[in-house]
């Protein structure tokens, strides 16, 4: 059905307004991703220092053999989105978390969720989080969220030894060529490689410490947990904004193509109306000539 000139004009104006909104969302996604990316790089540098501290502690103290037993309790911390407009970001990660939980042998499994929409995606998979936290609204909020999660891990442990606990971080990280990669990474029990003594130290200055060994190890473990949670939260926010940016770019391209199509129809209809008006004038002029 052919559309009128007025209808096509309104359609074109509406599409132009939508393009402005999409362009604004794309710009905001690009701007919001930068601080989180900077935070992720900063915490990665700090985490490398913590890992060097583990290596120095193990070299000075000797190998520490961690007990490897089946954990009695398993806590999964899932970092999702709470704002939408990022495609199937939450649903893909929820599927990975479900597969991970099915492969665990712990007597009790618990889920801590970040993001209300992530909560809905987990519920669709049959997983009911025991707590739902809000994702950070800015890069400054990543540290507060990480501190809250570390405190909840401490409450979850309730004084139990680390080998009785299993804590897993589930989040989406950046892959190759801008792809998104949902992963699960083990936080507790600690990887045995963290406290394995190197055969050869890379420097002539051998590591040493003066404080109590147990206090130092406890501090290193707390810092390792905080840095790991902080990085997972920052990485999740970077990939969320990257996913939203990619979708907004696709939407902007689709809107541009639709605007061009509507403009083509508008030109055709306008030309048709001009032609019809000219034909009416010519027919009227010929009718008057015949009467004369």
The 3-class secondary structure across the chain, one letter per residue, is CCCCHHHHHHHHHHHHHHHHHHHHHHHHHHHHHHHHHHHHHHHHHHHHHHHHHHHHHHHHHCCCCCCCCCCCEEEEEEECCCCCCCCCHHHHHHHHHHHHHHCCCCCEEEEEEECHHHHHHHHHCCCCCCEEECCCCCCHHHHHHHHHHHHHHHHHHCCCCHHHEEEEEEEEEECHHHCEEEEEEEEECCCHHHHCCCCCCCCCCCCCCCCCHHHHHHHHHHHHHHHHHHHHHHHHHHHHHHHHHHHHHHHHHHHHHHHHHHHHHHHHHHHHHHHHHHHHHHHHHHHHHHHC
- What integer pLDDT is reported at residue 162 of this predicted model? 62
Residue range 124-139: average pLDDT?
89
Tokens matching residue 135: 């994702």
Residue range 191-201: average pLDDT?
80
- What integer pLDDT is reported at residue 190 of this predicted model? 83
Which among 219, 197, 193 has a CA at the least distance from the CA of 206?
197
Which among 47, 147, 125, 38 has a CA at the least distance from the CA of 80?
125
Q: Are 229 and 77 in contact (CB under 8 A)?
A: yes
Residue range 14-38: average pLDDT?
85
pLDDT classification of 88: cutoffs 50, 70, 90: confident
Least confident of 36-45, 75-84, 171-180: 171-180
List Cβ neighbours of 175 (8 Å cut-off, separation of 6 or more): 181
- What integer pLDDT is reported at residue 114 of this predicted model? 92
- Overall pTM surpassing 0.85 (yes/no): no
Mean of the per-residue pLDDT values for the chain?
84
- What integer pLDDT is reported at residue 207 of this predicted model? 83
- Cα separation, 7 vs 153, in Å, equals 59
- What integer pLDDT is reported at residue 159 of this predicted model? 64
Examine the pLDDT at 1 and tell me if it is beyond 50.
no
Angle, in degrees to the nearest 10, between helices 213-291 and 89-102: 140
Examine the pLDDT at 31 and tell me if it is beyond 80.
yes
* CATH superfamily name and code, 26-196+212-246: ATP synthase, F1 complex, gamma subunit (3.40.1380.10)
- Cα separation, 269 vs 221, in Å, equals 71
- What integer pLDDT is reported at residue 233 of this predicted model? 92
- What integer pLDDT is reported at residue 229 of this predicted model? 93
- What integer pLDDT is reported at residue 248 of this predicted model? 86
| pLDDT digits 0-9 by tens, 199-235 | 778 778 888 888 888 888 888 988 999 999 999 999 9
């Amino acid at each position: 059905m052919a559309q009128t000139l007025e209808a096509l004009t309104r359609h074109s104006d509406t599409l132009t307004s939508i393009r402005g909104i999409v362009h604004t969302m794309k710009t905001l996604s690009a701007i919001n991703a930068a601080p989180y990316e900077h935070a992720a790089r900063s915490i990665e540098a700090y985490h490398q220092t913590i890992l060097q501290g583990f290596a120095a502690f193990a070299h000075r103290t000797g190998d520490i053999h961690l007990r490897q037993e089946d954990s009695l309790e398993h806590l999964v911390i899932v970092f999702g989105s709470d704002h939408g407009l990022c495609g199937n970001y939450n649903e893909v990660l929820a599927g990975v978390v479900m597969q991970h939980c099915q492969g665990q042998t712990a007597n009790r499994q618990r889920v801590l969720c970040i993001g209300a929409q992530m909560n809905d995606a987990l519920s669709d998979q049959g997983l009911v989080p025991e707590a739902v936290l809000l994702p950070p609204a800015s890069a400054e909020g990543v540290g507060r969220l990480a501190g809250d999660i570390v405190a909840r891990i401490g409450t979850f442990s309730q004084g139990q030894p680390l080998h009785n606990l299993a804590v897993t971080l589930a989040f989406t990280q950046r892959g190759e060529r801008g792809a998104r990669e949902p992963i699960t990474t083990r936080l507790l029990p600690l990887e045995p490689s963290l406290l394995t003594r190197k055969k050869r130290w890379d420097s002539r200055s051998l590591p040493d410490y003066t404080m109590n060994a147990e206090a130092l190890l406890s501090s290193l473990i707390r810092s390792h947990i905080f840095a790991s949670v902080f990085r997972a939260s920052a990485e999740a926010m970077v990939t969320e904004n990257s996913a939203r940016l990619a979708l907004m770019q696709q939407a902007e391209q689709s809107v541009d193509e639709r605007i061009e199509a509507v403009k083509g129809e508008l030109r055709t209809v306008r030309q048709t109306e001009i032609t019809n008006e000219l034909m009416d004038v010519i027919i009227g002029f010929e009718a008057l000539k015949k009467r004369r």
